[in-house]
Structures are given as structure tokens and as C-alpha cells.
Structure 1
Amino acid sequence: LVIENIFDHHPLMLTALVRSFESEYVRQSLDTGHAYINYTQGAPAVDYWVKTAGELLGHVHLQDTDGYSDRHWTIGDGKIDWRCLFAALAELPQQPRLVLELADNTDIPRAMRWFSERGLAR
């Protein structure tokens, strides 16, 4: 079971909720678009959500946005700082599942090229 950030304004509340279950089967899910929208309204940056969740992060929805709405744009079309996000992911003791959550599934090859061209895909 993963619990996703939606309207959460700070990652500590979600992390505390996940910890309260005291179960290895309950983890945190990070939606990059949701986190970035909240960032534009004063919440911490997207990479801070990764650092705060740490080993509790089990799942990440990768989608880009301009910060005004939950756009599900392909990676690189919005304003998310992907290098900082992937640097934070690289520091985790184990890697969460990464899921491209795009409005148009035909954009998946373009998103993968974008990551690959920047050395973010392995």
C-alpha cells in the first residue's frame, strides 16, 4: 500500500502518517506534479519530499507541470527541477518504483529520451 501526496503542503505530515502504521507494507508515494504545485504555493521543493520520505518512499509518479494545475505533461515540458529530484533519489538506500504518469502515453518514448540525453536514465 502506498499513500500519495495530493494536497499535502509539507512532507512531514505524510511521512508521520506512513510511520504510524508501523508496517513494512505501507509506504509513501510521491507525485512530482502535486509536490511542485504545492511548491509554487510555499511548500518545500520536490527533492525535499524525497529526502524527507527516505526509506519510506516506495513509489514516484513522474509527471511535469507548470505549477498551476495537475497537467501530467511529459518530462521536460514543465518547470520541475529533475536533476535535483534524481540526485535526491540517488541518495536513497533503496530505489522506489518510478512510474511515468503522462496525459498522453504516446509521449513515453520522448520522456525516456529526455531522461537518457541528460544521463538520468539507467
Structure 2
Amino acid sequence: MNWEYIDCLAETPIRTFELNAAMFAADYDGELRRAFCRMLQKSGKRVFSYHIPFSRLDDISDPDEVCRQRALSRFRALLREAEFFQAEMLVVHPSTEPVNQQRRAEHTAQLRRSLQELEGELRAKKMRLALEFLPRLCMGNTLADMDMFLDGMSSTFGVCQDVNHLMGQYREIPAMARTLKEKLFTLHISDYDGVDERHWLPGQGVIDWRAFVAALKDINYTGPFNYEIKINPDLDIPGRLQEIVDNFSWMESLL
């Protein structure tokens, strides 16, 4: 994030944002954060979600209890940051990477324990938490994983469907949305080759966007379309933002 981005974002039709700690890593005095908030207030735009970091230090599913508690402490510090931006939701990775496949059950138990411990704080701040679908051998790489994580949990918790993370399951993306229904809180939007994450613009890969948009309409999805794409180095900042705006207009035309 920088001053030019803030000025350009104010002028675009983009209405919602997902922020993360890395965006403000060099904002030592907090002035950039305050400027971003002023832009929100003047433009009527809003921060819908805040993405918690996903390093080993941030893994709230860590089987090592000392590490899990440290991750929760870091989480709570960023919860205050999310509150500063008036974010409505936190997006969290169910694990870091790589995951010892023989310890998946331990990761699941620790993740659920963390969610239960955080629920009161989230509810007090009127925030929800979305677990993000992850690729490869991470926790949360299947719908069955998400079912286990959220089984018996309250409506505070749901799912972020990152459609770029589903590897060979790309044909199932519309069906997954229909299965999740009201548990589908938010999206990370980009395209890929069906093999590994690429973060291409929608329409450049294998995803059937018409089918996916139809599925979202069927379940009355009202959350944001958070674009998570690679920056085009050949475009300036206004051009990069316009590329997203134009792509979303194409997406709307599929309805």
C-alpha cells in the first residue's frame, strides 16, 4: 500500500477491500493507515475482511501447544488491527505449509480448539471468521476438511472459497459453493491451470466462471469478490485497478 494506491482506490468503483499486515509493514508512524481510513470515510467504501498471516508462527492449528498459544497471541494483536479498519471478517488459513500428514487429526483438534477459544472475542467485536480453502497437502484442501473444522460451530465461522487453491478439483467449484450455502462467507477470485495456483485474471484459466456465478446466484451469495491476482508489471496503478474493474464487469455479464 502507498499514497498513490490510496488516491487511485478512492476513484475506482471498487467498493470493498481485504487488507493484510504486509500492506502496511513500512507504515511505522501509522499515517498510511489513517489515510486509508480517511479514504474509506470520504468514499463510502469499506474493509470487508482482514487476512491473518499464515507463517509457521501464525498457525493456530499447530499440534505444539506452546506454538499454538503464541500464534493466538499474534492473532489477537492483528484482531486489534482489523478492528481499527472496521473489518467485518477475518480470513484465516487452517494451517501453514507443509503439514505432517500423519498429524492431520492433531491439527484439526487444535484448530477447533483455537476457534472455540476465539469465539467470544469475535462475537464481542461483531466479527466473523472464514477459514480459507488451501492447496496441495495443507489442512482445508477438501470440502470434507471444512466440514470437520466447522462441525458444531456457530454462525461466527464459515469458509473463504479461494477458487485458485483447489488444484485438480476445479470442475467441482460450483458444486462446492452450492454445498457450502450460507457457510460461504467470502471469496478469493483468480484463475489457474488446474494444476497449481497461478493467480491469473478470471477467464485466463480452466475455471467455468459462468457455472460458478450461477451457483453463487442460486445460493443468494451476497459477499464480496476479492480479487487475488498477480500484479501486471506492464501497467501503472490506475491500469491495474481498471483491469480488475473491467474483469468484474465481464463477470457480471455472465449472470
Whether the TM-score (by the shorter chain) exceeds 0.5 is: yes
CA RMSD of superposed structures (Å): 2.3
Which letter does structure 1 place at the counterpart of 2:130?
A: V
Tell me the equivalent position of 1:62: 189
Q: 1:120 offset after TM fit, Å?
A: 3.9
Q: 1:31 aligns with which of 162, 166, 177?
A: 162
Alignment identity in percent?
A: 25
Q: d(CA) in 1 for partners of 2:168 and 2:193?
A: 11
1:69/1:107 Cα in 2 relative to 1: closer, same or farther (>3 Å)? farther
Tell me the equivalent position of 1:113: 246
Structure 1, unmatched stretches of 5+, are none
Pair 1:47 & 2:174 matched: yes
Which letter does structure 1 place at the counterpart of 2:134?
A: I
Which letter does structure 1 place at the counterpart of 2:164?
A: G
Q: d(CA) in 1 for partners of 2:223 and 2:148?
A: 18
Q: d(CA) in 1 for partners of 2:221 and 2:228?
A: 21
Greater relative contact order (Cα 8 A, min sep 6): structure 1 or 2?
Answer: 1
8 Å CA contact retained: 1:3, 1:18 = no
Q: d(CA) in 2 for partners of 1:107 and 1:120?
A: 22
Tell me the equivalent position of 2:200: 73
Mapping for residues 87-102 of structure 1, pairs under 5 Å: 87-102=214-229
Q: d(CA) in 2 for partners of 1:54 and 1:75?
A: 22
**TM-score for the superposition, normalised by structure 2:** 0.41
8 Å CA contact retained: 2:168, 2:195 = no
Q: Which is greater in Rg?
A: 2
- How many pairs does the alignment contain? 116
1:62/1:25 Cα in 2 relative to 1: closer, same or farther (>3 Å)? same
8 Å CA contact retained: 2:160, 2:188 = yes
Q: d(CA) in 2 for partners of 1:115 and 1:88?
A: 17
Tell me the equivalent position of 1:10: 142
8 Å CA contact retained: 2:201, 2:247 = no
Q: CA offsets, 1:39-66, max 9 Å, x none?
A: 16xxx61111101111100011001001
Paired residue secondary structure (1:67): coil
